[in-house]
Copies of this chain bind each other. A is one copy, B any other.
Amino acid sequence: MAKTAVLKGNMLIAQSGGPTAVINQSLVGAIEEAKKHKEIQHIYGSLHGIKGILEENFIDLRKESKQTLDAVANTPSSALGSVRKKPTPEDCVKLFHVMKKYNVRFFFYIGGNDSAETTHIINQEAQKANFELRCFHICKTIDNDLRENDHTPGFASGAKFVAMAFMGDNLDNRALPGVKINVVMGRHAGFLTAASALARVYPDDGPHLIYLPERAFNVEKFLADVKRVYEERKRCLIAVSEGISDELGAPIAARFSKEMDTHGNIQLSGSGALGDLLANEVKTKLNISRVRADTFGYLQRSFPAIVSANDAKEARSVGREAVKLACSGNVDGSVAIRRKPGKTYKVFFERVPLESVAKETRHMPDDFINADGNDVTREFISYAAPIVGPLPKIGRFKGVKVAKK
């Protein structure tokens, strides 16, 4: 529908989907920016996404001090609470009823592809209902699987956690050799699992094998890979995505799970079953005694203080940009992060249509995955390393052997 160029009213912002370490940076960026725009009067925060709107559960974000805003920005997980809920057309009628009551004209939804879909649905339904509303999606997801984006806020900090965990675990596995399987988050996209490769410092460092959802997972092939590495190195550190799927596309982890959200996603995290299954295969089929599995779980997305500096900065900017754009005229959309060509890492932001990031996800490009489907390529490292930024320094003895007597 035709919208007037200048719109005045209240702003409503909410968070949705899985938290990240920097999702509050975007929230605080949006609040800071909103305060600069006269078009925006009240700044309401809805608790637990659209559920909070349906329940009229709002807090007044203008009442928060600068000190609190900064502290919240640097705190992981969704400060406004989150939800996993796809709105029905009936929900939208109720949402608009509430929004009108509170004179909400600016709506911001921070989340991943499902939250972009929610924003898109709300935008379309608002147009159908002739309700003038600026709708912006503010991207976040540790999975890094949003289309249109070079990368998404939250990914770099999650990737930093995964890389650091593998750095330490590689040293652990080197000290007490065996087969170690680490299951990393990532439903459809392997970016976060692939980030384990950033842990490598020395040529013999793990992960020695990396399995991504982008390639069909075959247990026999997996066992042959592990056998080969173990025979060569007497140890084997493995990164496995929770989303690995068989030749028919069915997630291996889904064999243990029946839980599904309203966006149709099967629950994969919050269980050690996949790691334990694979460890058991290695133990029994390859007859290796020391086999362990860890599932990194929710620590990856909400660990305090392990934050990529780029990520924190970009997340803040994306929040600011969304408000700037919403106040600039008759537009809706999502703010995408693009990378400038050139040797130095630089990004810029661009508005993209809501439907271009909603629902469908992005996968690892083919040139990021090796031919054998069990590792990443240099192209991936070149892509990911500058986004994640510096990692802790690891020391190792020169190790001059004492001649045997």
Q: Chain A residues in contact with chain B, CB under 8 A? A: 15, 18-19, 21, 24, 42, 44-45, 48, 56, 58-61, 63-65, 68, 70-84, 101-102, 164-165, 167-169, 171-172, 174-176, 180, 259, 269-273, 275-276, 279, 289, 291-299, 301-305, 392-402, 404-405
Contacts and interface: CB of A to CB of B under 8 A. Distances in A.
A301 B172 contact: yes
Contacts of A101: 405
B271 A165 contact: no
A121 B229 CA distance: 36
Given A59-B401, A168-B303, A398-B64, A272 B269 contact: no
A402 B168 contact: no
Given A60-B400, A271-B272, A404-B56, A304 B392 contact: yes
Closest 5 CB pairs between A and B? A272-B272, A71-B395, A270-B292, A77-B171, A294-B297
B289 A272 contact: no
Given A279-B270, A299-B165, A304 B394 contact: yes
Contact of A169 (B82, B272, B302): B302
A171 B73 CA distance: 13
Contacts of A81: 174-176
A74 B395 contact: yes
Contacts of A72: 395-397
Contact of A302 (B168, B275, B401): B168
B77 A175 contact: yes
A94 to B, nearest CB: 14
Given A78-B175, A82-B176, 19 more contacts: A18-B176, A19-B172, A44-B402, A56-B402, A56-B404, A58-B402, A63-B400, A68-B397, A81-B175, A81-B176, A82-B175, A270-B279, A270-B292, A272-B273, A292-B297, A294-B297, A294-B299, A295-B297, A304-B392
A168 B161 CA distance: 13
A18 to B, nearest CB: 8
B295 A398 contact: no
A337 to B, nearest CB: 23
A48 B174 CA distance: 10
Contacts of A80: 397
A276 B373 CA distance: 30
Contacts of A259: 289
B272 A293 contact: yes
Contacts of A102: 402, 405
A128 B383 CA distance: 62
B402 A60 contact: yes
Given A71-B393, A292-B270, A396-B72, A401 B58 contact: yes
B396 A75 contact: yes
Given A75-B394, A402-B60, A299 B296 contact: yes
Contacts of A404: 56
Given A271-B292, A292-B271, A404-B56, A302 B77 contact: no
Nearest to A301: B172
A398 B399 CA distance: 55
A332 B259 CA distance: 59
Nearest to A58: B402
Contacts of A293: 270-272
7 contacts: A63-B398, A71-B395, A72-B397, A77-B168, A271-B279, A271-B293, A304-B394
A65 B398 CA distance: 9
A399 B24 CA distance: 14
Given A169-B302, A269-B292, A297-B294, A59 B176 contact: no
